[in-house]
Amino acid sequence: MAGDGRADDIDPADQWVLNPQTGDYELRLSPSAGQSAPPGVPGPRGAAPRPGTRPGGRRSREPGREPGRDQGREHGTGSREHGREQVPGQRRRRAQPEAAAGGRRKQRPKKKNTGKKIAMWSGGTVAFVVVVASVGGYLYYQHLNDNITSVSDDGAGTGGFSKDRAINILLVGTDKRSGKGNAGYGDEGSAGHADTTLLLHVSKDRSNATALSIPRDMITDIPDCPTKQDDGSTKVIPGSQGVRFNESLGQSDRTPSCTMRTVTKITGIKLDHFMVADFNAVKTLSSAVDGVDVCLAKDIDDPKSHLKLSKGKHTIEGEEALAFVRTRHSVGTGGDLSRIELQQQFLSSLMRKLKSGGTLTSPKKMISLAEAGTKALTVDSKIADIMKLRDLGMELGKLDMKNLTFATTPVIDNPAEKVHTTVVLNESKADKLFSMMREDVSLTEVKKKEKKEKAAVAARLKGPKADASDVRVDIYNGSGKTGAAQATLSWLQNNEGVTKSSQLGNAPKNLPKTILEYGEDQADQARRLAQLMGLPASALKPGKSEKNAQGLPAMVLTLGADFKGAGQSITAPSKAPDGVQKVEADKTVCAK
């Protein structure tokens, strides 16, 4: 059975051994297997040595490599060096007479804090735990890579996540009836829709995250979508105005990249990646963790989704789990917003199960999750590799579940309808919520130690403020929005009394953020202008000013892409607007 990475007399589950030092599961084969591992994937102990290996297990330097480094170490999965603690070897199948006689095996004492060590490896499982797929073994690595289905993002994304900035991932559940056993749900030939959509935003410092649900029946505009065709050419799929959001996928040959563009148009948030799940994802992932715990505040009997559960707590998996996330007629108001609450409850519970010690320390469950995740998901081509998914999971794993909040895009009933079947964006509330996400403001109270630099930046807004009539500022437009500098000048002069101001046209280049540069003796002017314009402390840059047309010292205000309009605050709200539907991921809520 060399082809599947197992020896004939070895228990398959025993081939995967947890290394407590790295938090990885490593494949341990017999010495005769002689398999090698791909870059960054743990190889079997006792396998044939790689070319260039010195006695004692140390590898000689290869041309073009830095001394003491290899690819496995860069990914954090390299085998332990000679002289360090080794991972226990595999056990072999054997009869257990002591068990038959009522005896017990002797168990080794458990190492403390093992859960903490491995939580960093796979704790960020909002992305449906495909990160577990890098558990080792060259053939298994190739097998899981072959499982992955990918589609181009057609330039709709950022080009890929980065460790030094916030991460934004689009999670889409499609109602396409593909996959074994799903044809019976109806609409067998449908191309599918964006039936369930979440935007997962993880803050730059990884201290908090928001999973924003976007209602499928929200009326919106879908932009034109350049889409790569099978022959390599690009076709622009025309946009649609005033249609349901769920039409951004599947309809008119739209791909997930079109859903990405639509979400960016709605929220102003540029996305890094997408992951699309079909019906089988819910069934297989819930079964891989031996069920997901849910709670109901009343009995549910929904013949349309085939969900029948009594009031109270249940552990559901497979078809029953799928019925749970699909039901809507028997909960809440019977609409999609009520179904979103159920889905958020289900995902919160799934994530708690994934981060539990019983899952993270079980090789069988981790392998099942790897298989389920890679088979049931379609991802963008920039993360269509096990190691890239692992790297993404490492970043998501830094997040504490206490600071993950599920929220729903604020909407109101569509005023154009007499019988309300669709909703429209509640712009005043939605704009504030989107602004909080863009600025990394958590929807939960995040306890974190404020660094000296942050305290120093915040202090820039504290102190005396000059009168508006004494503020002298030159305005440049680096926002990319035509007329922004002139509109700001008119508003400052006519509405706020900042008469000693002028606009000097376009900045040398566009900026992502608005900045206000000022001299040390202009701090009081800077604080007044920041108050008037709603500038955050981070926008204030002391130490530089210029002379205006009259030869007098003037501050320099350069409007950035975050500029929303004259008189509109750039600073994000400190808390979510009242009435925003949200669920904290570490809390259990019973569906009503």
CATH, residue 140: 3.40.630.190
Statement to judge: residues 209 and 240 lie in one domain: yes
Q: What is the pLDDT of residues 72-108, one digit of tens each?
A: 334 444 443 444 444 444 444 444 444 334 444 445 4
Statement to judge: residues 376 and 492 lie in one domain: no
Q: What is the distance between the alpha carbons of residues 325 and 285, in angstroms, rounded to a whole number?
A: 13
Average pLDDT of the segment spanning 279-299: 89
Looking at the structure of the chain, the number of domains it has is 3
Statement to judge: residues 92 and 132 lie in one domain: no
Whether 111 maps to a domain, the answer reads no
Q: What is the distance between the alpha carbons of residues 121 and 79, in angstroms, rounded to a whole number?
A: 16
Whether 109 maps to a domain, the answer reads no
Whether 1 maps to a domain, the answer reads yes
Residue 117 three-state SS: helix
Average pLDDT of the segment spanning 53-68: 40
Q: What is the pLDDT of residues 564-591, one digit of tens each?
A: 888 888 876 666 667 676 666 666 667 6
Q: What is the pLDDT of residues 485-494, one digit of tens each?
A: 999 999 999 9
Q: What is the pLDDT of residues 259-273, one digit of tens each?
A: 999 999 999 999 999
Whether 569 maps to a domain, the answer reads no
Statement to judge: residues 460 and 356 lie in one domain: no
> Would you state the pLDDT for residue 496?
94
Percent of the chain with pLDDT over 90: 36
Q: What is the pLDDT of residues 209-223, one digit of tens each?
A: 999 999 999 999 999
What residues make up the domain containing 428? 125-443
CATH, residue 553: 3.30.70
Residue 148 CA, distance from chain mean position: 18
Statement to judge: residues 175 and 232 lie in one domain: yes
Q: What is the pLDDT of residues 501-528, one digit of tens each?
A: 999 999 999 998 899 999 989 999 999 9
> Residue 458 has what DSSP assignment?
H
| 366-397 as b/e: b if 16+ CB within 10 A | bbbbbbbbbbbbbbbebbbbbbbbbbbbbbbb
> Would you state the pLDDT for residue 55?
40
Q: pTM for this one? A: 0.65
Statement to judge: residues 326 and 294 lie in one domain: yes
Statement to judge: residues 228 and 359 lie in one domain: yes
Statement to judge: residues 155 and 268 lie in one domain: yes
Statement to judge: residues 551 and 423 lie in one domain: no
Statement to judge: residues 134 and 207 lie in one domain: yes
Whether 293 maps to a domain, the answer reads yes
Whether 191 maps to a domain, the answer reads yes
Q: CB neighbours (10 Å) of residue 536?
A: 19
If phi > 0 it is left, if psi is from -120 to 50 it is alpha, else beta; for residue 103 that is beta
Q: How confident is the model at residue 37 (pLDDT cuts 50, 70, 90)?
A: very low
Whether 584 maps to a domain, the answer reads no
Statement to judge: residues 430 and 462 lie in one domain: no
Statement to judge: residues 351 and 435 lie in one domain: yes
> Would you state the pLDDT for residue 167?
96
